[in-house]
Amino acid sequence: MFHLPRSPRLCLSLAACLLVQPVQAEPRFDLALVIAVDVSSSMDPREQQLQRDGFVEAFRSPLVHKAIQRGILGRIAVTYVEWSSADDQAVVVPWTAIDGPDSASTFAQKLAFQPVRRGTTTSISAALDFSARLLREMEAETVRRVVDVSGDGTNNDGRPVTEARDQLAAAGITINGLPVMIKEPEAAWDMDVLDIYYRDCVIGGMGAFMQPVRDVDQFAALIELKILREVSGIDGRDVAAVPAASTPPGVDCRTGEKTRQERDRPAQPNH
């Protein structure tokens, strides 16, 4: 059998080792953004359509196009997800690279053509877990990772929302919130201070912020502003994320879960 001399064999072995050493990949995107929107039963058809139209128009906006192109790399990756109960999350538009008006308009067009659906309960925690999984499965490196979660109610299904928030924040993922507050609270687990709930219980990570929507006429403009802030990397220093442990009295991060447990508890027989 033919054998290489010892030193060439060693050199070949070292070369092979060098070839298989992992190399840190350079980022390909300034931002990986998961837009996670609430389609639970508390979101009425008008709210759902306003929400959908707002995101469609945001990605048609020349201001958003310019903000994307001004990034270090000049491109972002975006996916649009609808969520409801703990076992109900769906990708409406998959990961899409956006680097200017044409690709942004294509994303908006795909989103506009998708039908709007309606789910049941509200699991913000499961929506965050699902979004984190999508970010982990991305093959390309990215400078920032953000989940943009919107909804009109508190978490009432799945694990506590603060557990999911803290895990994402620990993994370097920023969670921004868009609490929808355009109608009076109706269900038992609705909250008239939903913006405070989102601030204290939902958003988290570096630079996290929340942008409440209180007026129908401002829905589209505020969604555009939120996307602009996320694309530009403008943080939420004015609205800091508060750990659950220091949540002020009156804002209970388990309020939705507790109310649902009370509602689902079997009635005690009268004696």
Classify domain 31-244+254-262 by CATH number: 3.40.50.410
Residue 206 confidence (pLDDT) above 60: yes
Structural domain boundaries of the chain? Answer: 31-244+254-262
Residue 242 confidence (pLDDT) above 80: no
Q: Quick one: pLDDT at residue 23?
A: 47
pLDDT tens digits for range 47-105 = 899 999 999 999 999 999 999 999 999 999 999 999 999 999 999 999 999 999 999 99
pLDDT tens digits for range 165-201 = 999 999 999 999 999 999 876 665 567 889 999 999 9
> pLDDT-based confidence at 15, cuts 50/70/90?
very low
Q: Quick one: pLDDT at residue 184?
A: 77
Q: Quick one: pLDDT at residue 139?
A: 83
Q: Quick one: pLDDT at residue 196?
A: 92
3-state secondary structure the chain: CCCCCHHHHHHHHHHHHHHHCCCCCCCCEEEEEEEEEECCCCCCHHHHHHHHHHHHHHCCCHHHHHHHHCCCCCCEEEEEEEECCCCCEEEEEEEEEECCHHHHHHHHHHHHHCCCCCCCCCCHHHHHHHHHHHHHCCCCCEEEEEEEEEECCCCCCCCCHHHHHHHHHHCCCEEEEEEECCCCCCCCCCCCCHHHHHHHHHCECCCCCECCECCHHHHHHHHHHHHHHHHHCCCCCCCCCCCHHHCCCCCCCCHHHHHHHHHHCCCCCCC
Is residue 71 a contact partner of residue 30, using CB atoms and an 8 Å limit?
yes
Most confident of 8-22, 52-66, 257-271: 52-66
pTM of the model: 0.83
Q: Pick the residue with more confidence: 217 or 240?
A: 217
Percent of the chain with pLDDT over 90: 65
Q: Quick one: pLDDT at residue 264?
A: 64
Residue 106 confidence (pLDDT) above 90: yes
d(CA 215, CA 222): 10
